Amino acid sequence: MERPTIRHLECLVAVAEHGTFRRAATSLDISQPALSAQVAGAEAVLGVQVFERDRRSVLITPAGEEVIARARDALAAVDHVTDAARRRGEPLVGPLRLGVIPTIAPYWLPPLLPAVRSKFPRLELILREDQTHHLLAQLATGKIDIAFLALPVPGDLTTAAVARENFVVAMPRGAQISKRKRLTEGDLADEHVLLLEDGHCLRDQALAVCERGGAIESVEVRGTSLPTLVQMVAGGLGITLLPEAATATLVPKRGPVELVPFGKPSPGRTVGLAWRTSSGRLREFRLLAETLAESAESFLAKLRA
């Protein structure tokens, strides 16, 4: 019985994911005629039409839907073979596609990655920054291998905590609330709080703190990023909650914004790694999480000193 090749499956999945033969060919670094030939060859071997195509669009046929799903599973299985061979030797060698959310990437990666590079010099990190729901979708389809984000996350994923960071209240310098050395959630009552726009998991976490404390969200103004929120606080538009790892980068000590921590127990979030439970790289990913956690502990200790 003739079987489709791995290249056949890669081409089918690429067309399904990109929606056009042109973009799929570019993603695979082959010509469009070569891609068309591969797809036609796969359909001939399988005996079904996978795509309906004309000059403008590509549609997946009902039979093609199952073929594409099985093709993804088969490619993942092939990756497991490669992973198993790699794990027989030195761990964390070669490419690793790491997704990171925007409220972690610029603040956690600079202090943590040097230790990873030192311990695993042959690891090639390919970073992709995106919001949580996009990263989870990319994990599910195999576009990334692992994600660094806020925990917990939904889905059939295995996770490992790296650190727990506290939230800190950022406010205009001299604000009435700044006279307290430590805050409780109740101290936020009736304060106008600036939050990130929809799609950021930090927004949901900070909103929960604000709702418990009786704060008022400034719904007319939302930030697209943490630096934007800090600039709005500096402009006197309200206060905001920042994850403590971001404070050293975003808030100068003598600037227009000052920081006041919460008393214990402080609200905060857990950051960590998540990967597909079906992945064959459990030992490697656990080792990566342990390395990041060791660096995170040192980083937070310096930050809190």
CATH of residue 241: 3.40.190.290
CATH for 42: 1.10.10.10
Residues 6+ apart with CB under 8 A from 35: 11, 14, 15, 21, 24, 25, 28
Provide the domain limits for residue 168: 91-305
Q: Number of helices (H) and strands (E), helices first, in the chain?
A: 10, 11
Whether residues 122 and 64 fall in one domain: no
Q: What tens-digit pLDDT sequence spans the chain (305 residues)?
A: 789 999 999 999 999 999 899 999 999 999 999 999 999 999 999 999 999 987 677 999 999 999 999 999 999 888 877 776 665 567 898 899 999 999 999 999 999 999 999 999 999 999 999 999 999 999 998 899 999 999 999 988 999 999 999 999 999 999 888 888 899 999 999 999 999 988 788 888 998 998 899 998 887 788 889 999 999 999 999 999 999 999 999 999 889 999 999 999 999 999 999 999 988 889 999 999 999 999 999 999 999 88
pLDDT for 245: 97
Question: Do 280 and 257 share a structural domain?
Answer: yes
Q: Which helix (H) or strand (E) holds 95?
A: strand 94-100
Domain boundary residue, one of 64, 86, 108 = 86
3-class DSSP state for residue 196?
strand
268: its two tokens: 């905060």
Q: Do 239 and 285 lie in a common domain? A: yes
Give the model's pLDDT for residue 86. Answer: 64
Pick from 84, 57, 199: which is nearest to 136 by CA?
Answer: 199
Task: Please say which residue of 35, 65, 86 terminates a domain.
Answer: 86
Q: Are residues 159 and 203 in the same domain?
A: yes
The pLDDT value recorded for residue 88 is 58
Structural domain tally of the chain?
A: 2
In a domain, 110, yes or no: yes
Last residue of a domain, one of 70, 86, 102: 86
Residue 171 burial (CB count, 10 A): 22
Helix/strand/coil for 278: coil
Omega before 265 cis (within 30°)? yes
134 and 57 co-located in one domain:
no
Residue 136 belongs to a domain:
yes
SS3 (DSSP) at 20: coil
pTM of the model: 0.74
d(CA 16, CA 68): 7
Q: CA dist 242 to 125, 135, 190, 289, Å?
A: 27, 22, 18, 23
Q: What is the pLDDT of residue 301?
A: 94
Class of residue 47 by CB neighbours under 10 A (exposed 0-12, middle 13-18, buried 19+): exposed
